[in-house]
Structure 1
Amino acid sequence: MSEQSSQGDDDPGEPLRLSVIVPVWQEAATIQATLQHLASIREAGHQVIVVDGGSDDGTPQLAEPRCDRVLSSGGRGRACQMNAGAEVATGNVLLFLHADTRLPGSTLAALKRFHTSRNAWGRFNVRLSGKRPLFRVIEWFMNRRSWLTGIATGDQALFVRRPVFEALRGFREIPLMEDVELSARLRLVSRPFCVTDPVVTDSRRWEQQGAWRTIFLMWRLRWRYWRGESPESLANAYRSDVRNAQEP
């Protein structure tokens, strides 16, 4: 495995203490498998926190035996959930993981290297779970875009040093683009540490809504965001597009 970073001298101070924060909502069908993939991280002495956004399908109860803490954020919205998890986390590095994303087996080794680097934050390359050749093209563009811009999205399992996250006051609690917004602020602190061993993200969203439709939707939303449109307006546009895609 290789990664791009501005490496400094090894820090002989405190070792890596990782807190993985997983925001969830209505994930009863998948939460047990999600947390099983994180079992080796817990066994190594690190922390896994699940933050529920008001599920009524039993997600919190299914998660409880397989993580260190289950919280309720008091409302849906990944930004709110991830900030709630960060408040109770004990780690010196926080990693924010979507429930449909799987970390590579080399995660702890990579984050130990990050911990001794000068970088303030980082992200993984991403791979989509689907087998279609189009998904390989989408992955390439996602990873290349992130490399060139220094901006990461939630699918890339963003991680950050806790003091930096706290100094920036965490995620802005907006309904969409919270990961892009935080990345833009983190980029002012340092370039991201890039782990090239990819996380694997479920491609069901692309498959259910149509790959090309999803590509155009996400680029359209990002373009409108960079032009200054409010996250609330973009969230409404996203929900409307998803509803239209689901109609027969």
Structure 2
Amino acid sequence: MRAPLSIIIPVLNGEGELPHAIASLVEGLEAGLIRELVVSDGGSSDGSCGLAEEAGAVLVSGAAGRGGQLARGADAAGGAWLLFLHADTVLAAGWAEVVRAHIASEQRAGYFRLRFAASGFWPWFVAGWANLRSRLFGLPYGDQGLLISRDLYDAVGGFKDMALMEDVAMARSLKRQLRGLPMEAVTSAARYQDAGWARQSARNLWRLVRYLAGADPERLRRGYQMW
């Protein structure tokens, strides 16, 4: 019987982060859980594609844009379950058993608890808000990962080829078919550290409010560095 899980990672010039994300997946290979790794490239000019090929990943290419890259990655995947991860996200040790248990007992999609690869009040506070938002409003972001069966993914129409907010659109499509997983996804804090924790958090919240109020994702994308 084939392993059930396809892992899909979108990348754009991510050679600095991608090796760490791939390394955290090894326990899933050792557990016989992973069928394939699909890396969906958006036109990298660095060594990202070479790293993916060295890791034995299925490499798909197309226009930059995380929604479209996720959708193309899913189209290339053959697993009964899909796990979408960002290239700067590392799964905590023990994730494979948590995912195996979810696949065996759940039809709903799952997401991880967020933690930043940084210490201090602001990383704790921002991650805490993200986890609370996910639990209360069913709105996990892409850096928390998404574990979803192929059947459910197809039923809700998959990822939209959007300029921004593809993760929020997916969460809203899933409605109450989401469950938090008891495991952490550790993501880079670089964007927050560059812009300032309070400023970046305020920007993210304002974009979310505008999107939920009907703003065009292309307009929201302007001035936002997705990668």
Q: TM-score range by the shorter chain?
A: over 0.9
CA distance in 1, matches of 2:3, 2:139: 24
The answer to whether the 8 Å contact 1:16/1:112 transfers is no
The answer to whether the 8 Å contact 2:162/2:217 transfers is yes
CA distance in 2, matches of 1:139, 1:16: 32
CA distance in 2, matches of 1:103, 1:111: 11
The runs of 5 or more residues in structure 1 that have no matched partner are 1-13, 243-248
TM-score normalized by structure 1?
Answer: 0.85
CA distance in 1, matches of 2:2, 2:63: 34
1:109 aligns with 2:97: yes
1:41 aligns with 2:35: no
Structure-2 residue corresponding to 1:144:
132
TM-score normalized by structure 2?
Answer: 0.92
1:134 aligns with 2:122: yes
CA distance in 2, matches of 1:71, 1:30: 18
The aligned amino acid for 1:203 is A
CA distance in 1, matches of 2:187, 2:55: 21
CA distance in 2, matches of 1:119, 1:136: 31
The aligned amino acid for 2:50 is Q
The aligned amino acid for 2:150 is R
Structure-1 residue corresponding to 2:179:
193
Deviation at 1:34, TM superposition (A): 2.4
CA distance in 2, matches of 1:43, 1:85: 23
CA distance in 2, matches of 1:20, 1:148: 27
Deviation at 1:237, TM superposition (A): 4.4
Deviation at 1:16, TM superposition (A): 6.2
Structure-2 residue corresponding to 1:173:
161
More displaced, 227-236 or 106-115? 106-115
Q: How much identity, in percent, do the aligned residues show? A: 32
CA distance in 2, matches of 1:134, 1:28: 27
